[in-house]
Structure 1
């Protein structure tokens, strides 16, 4: 089953969430695997309240997921929201690659002539 294209609202939420350096740092910590709020807070030197707030924003943007392990809530990176951002950014590459190819080919032709 293929993923549905992300809506513009999903993309906006993800980009807003990624605009904050604390949220990007939290994603970096979770990159290696699920973490509890306290672990993330300690590693980044943030309060648990601040960390919980940022995790809520990341979850709303589809960039983080939460699972339960006994009484602990573990948070991990979710690729759903990242997929929306990647799809958006991927649309820029073909245009840039064509421009680069033209520039390189133009320069190679000028060097020969």
Structure 2
């Protein structure tokens, strides 16, 4: 696992405005102005947050004429998913043992 990419992703996601932006663009490409209006932020603030998200690999930007459109990069989210996926086998094994032991105690 790339720990630098993980650190950048978690840093980018530590800000509530960036999480809100990510939620908006997960449904498809959105222009900066539309994101700003939706969130009640200035375009300058949204542009700053999009830059952080883009540098962390969480969004991609494309041009459509004079507009910059942004969308989620699913590949960028994979580093965080992989980090959390490592916790599940251990937790599921513990849960299984707890249930089995509770069943043995009841029987």
- Name the TM-score, length of structure 1 as normaliser: 0.92
Q: Does 2:7 match 1:12? A: yes
Is the CA contact 1:11–1:81 (under 8 Å) kept in the aligned structure 2?
no
- Residue 53 (structure 1) aligned to one of 27, 48, 54: 48
Q: Which runs of 5+ in 1 are unaligned?
A: 1-5
Per-residue CA deviation, residues 25-51 of structure 1 (Å, 9 max, x unaligned), is: 000111111000000000001111100
Shift of 1:22: 0.4
The count of aligned residue pairs is 107
- Residue 70 (structure 1) aligned to one of 65, 70, 90: 65
User: d(CA) in 2 for partners of 1:86 and 1:51?
Assistant: 25
Deviating above 6 A after TM superposition, structure 1's stretches of 4 or more consecutive aligned residues are none
2:27 maps to 32
Q: Which runs of 5+ in 2 are unaligned?
A: none
User: d(CA) in 2 for partners of 1:11 and 1:86?
Assistant: 10
- Name the TM-score, length of structure 2 as normaliser: 0.97
User: d(CA) in 2 for partners of 1:84 and 1:53?
Assistant: 22
User: d(CA) in 2 for partners of 1:40 and 1:61?
Assistant: 19
- Residue 90 (structure 1) aligned to one of 85, 88, 100: 85
